[in-house]
Structure 1
């Protein structure tokens, strides 16, 4: 096999005038400016730590910096719009100013936050809610004309891990995507990335089923984002905590690439970049 035939054909996204080429796998580096994220909560809140983090992500090979101000860990509550804006806007503005060529994504469920971030230089909206928390978000994305990450989540972060149930997890999520894609396209949103939402309202077994079935979602002909970095699907199997979950995350990133992932959302860019290099060499064999 000379190339990954699972990768979608049309893979160039226009991120506010900056092109993101997903014809080869790429990396979305995580920049959380939250006090309570499950792995790096509070780490980048002091001084200009977030700028040093952004510089590190880019230097190690991230194609996108994903900035978020509201934790989506299991059990997390929803903060106010004002608080979210207070957390993310200084960071978005500073990162876009310091690194003008970088592609910045805003991780939010709110139209007001997405709009402010894009106006400040962000070029992508990453929404865990598929527009279900703020009904104004999808029309806002259509107006902003930036790529949109459509993710599946059962429930909301506060309750999503309380006995999630599916008849057939892959089939149900594919049906969800099909219905949502029709809505997005009717609104005029065409640059779309699909994210099956590993860890968002799924058991460990369901997460692994989805990882194994990524090729099913690739049939939609859209880039696939996978976010499993240091999550419980790694920790519970290995009996480790998130700090100890780098090796397991790296192993699963290779499986994600083999099954069709286009964009890896990670805490650890250097290691993910190495996985992609090995994957690409393997594909040429």
Structure 2
């Protein structure tokens, strides 16, 4: 890895020491998981209270997004997206000044305004490929970027049983080699914009342009992504491949998510992006105790 540390303000990531937890705050009316804050009325107060619970339950990062990425979702223009997310970022910064906030957007204008409002990480589902200006914004403000692998077409979704409701675009010559190559193309965009290597985080894009089998293979072979030399974020929470595997709706996928989180951590995930922060923070802590062994074990052998 290029650097074992990433310092953002007063917070320091020590990659490999433990798993970091990103809590999802969807400021959308149409989130696939049914947790969109706009649909719940007072989005600002709801977001603040949800963030309060996330932070108390072990979240390290609050990820604010104003455009749904669910299959078949309609794109949102920058003005509408900013109207959704900027007041939320401002409120989070005001209420939790030490909290680490990321903005989930692929638009340069939205990212810049969010950074001005207090965001400190850019989480881009298109890996800097959708908006040429986003890399320049990240470089200008010296903020880390999460680069996700994505072949999806947000306006089109295959509904064949093979895909389990996943996005179209799932044809690969060699899944892992293709994903790694295309992630490194995103890395090149970041480097060309003078984004520091220590500010680059990779996301294999589970659920985006991949079949259920692809998603399962990506999780199992996540270590190959990690070996590219950058920290890795894993976002599996409540996704359709879990529902397709277990035949369960989004609000009943906690256990399935937990399995993917635990396996992902054993394969090298550094950050997990989740809806159910309390439960997944516990899964991460327990898995870390097994895999990373960060705790001093008492000499007394407790057998139950």
TM over 0.5: yes
From 77, 98, 101, the counterpart of 2:98: 101
Query: For residue 206 of structure 2, what is the aligned residue in structure 1?
Result: 198
Please report the RMSD computed on the Cα atoms of aligned residues, expressed in angstroms: 1.6
From 213, 227, 231, the counterpart of 1:223: 231
Query: For residue 212 of structure 1, what is the aligned residue in structure 2?
Result: 220
Query: For residue 173 of structure 1, what is the aligned residue in structure 2?
Result: 179
Task: State whether residues 34 and 71 of structure 1, in contact with CA within 8 Å, keep that contact through their aligned partners in structure 2.
Answer: yes
Q: SS at the partner of 1:136?
A: helix
| Superposed CA offset, 1:15-73 (max 9, x none) | 35643333321100000010001111245542511100110110100000000001011
Deviation, structure 1 residue 142: 1.0
Query: For residue 164 of structure 1, what is the aligned residue in structure 2?
Result: 170
Moved more, 126-135 or 40-49: 40-49
Query: For residue 301 of structure 2, what is the aligned residue in structure 1?
Result: none
Task: State whether residues 44 and 50 of structure 1, in contact with CA within 8 Å, keep that contact through their aligned partners in structure 2.
Answer: no
Query: For residue 115 of structure 2, what is the aligned residue in structure 1?
Result: 118
| Superposed CA offset, 1:249-281 (max 9, x none) | 011110000111000000011111111221122
Is the counterpart of residue 13 in structure 1 residue 9 in structure 2?
A: no
Task: State whether residues 153 and 169 of structure 2, in contact with CA within 8 Å, keep that contact through their aligned partners in structure 1.
Answer: no
- Name the count of aligned residue pairs: 278
Query: For residue 5 of structure 1, what is the aligned residue in structure 2?
Result: none
| Superposed CA offset, 1:230-253 (max 9, x none) | 001110000000011011101111
Task: State whether residues 107 and 127 of structure 1, in contact with CA within 8 Å, keep that contact through their aligned partners in structure 2.
Answer: yes
Is the counterpart of residue 28 in structure 1 residue 36 in structure 2?
A: no
Return 5+ residue gaps in structure 2 as ranges. 158-166, 298-304
Return 5+ residue gaps in structure 1 as ranges. 1-7
From 31, 37, 46, the counterpart of 2:42: 46
Is the counterpart of residue 274 in structure 1 residue 282 in structure 2?
A: yes
TM-score (structure 2 length as normaliser) = 0.87
Higher Rg: 2
Query: For residue 264 of structure 2, what is the aligned residue in structure 1?
Result: 256
Task: State whether residues 157 and 200 of structure 1, in contact with CA within 8 Å, keep that contact through their aligned partners in structure 2.
Answer: no
Deviation, structure 1 residue 132: 2.1
Say which structure, 1 or 2, has more relative contact order (CA 8 Å, 6+ apart).
1
Task: State whether residues 14 and 146 of structure 1, in contact with CA within 8 Å, keep that contact through their aligned partners in structure 2.
Answer: no
Query: For residue 79 of structure 1, what is the aligned residue in structure 2?
Result: 76
Distance 1:37 1:84 in 2: 14
Pairing 1:232-247 to 2, within 5 Å after superposition: 232-247=240-255
Q: SS at the partner of 2:31?
A: coil
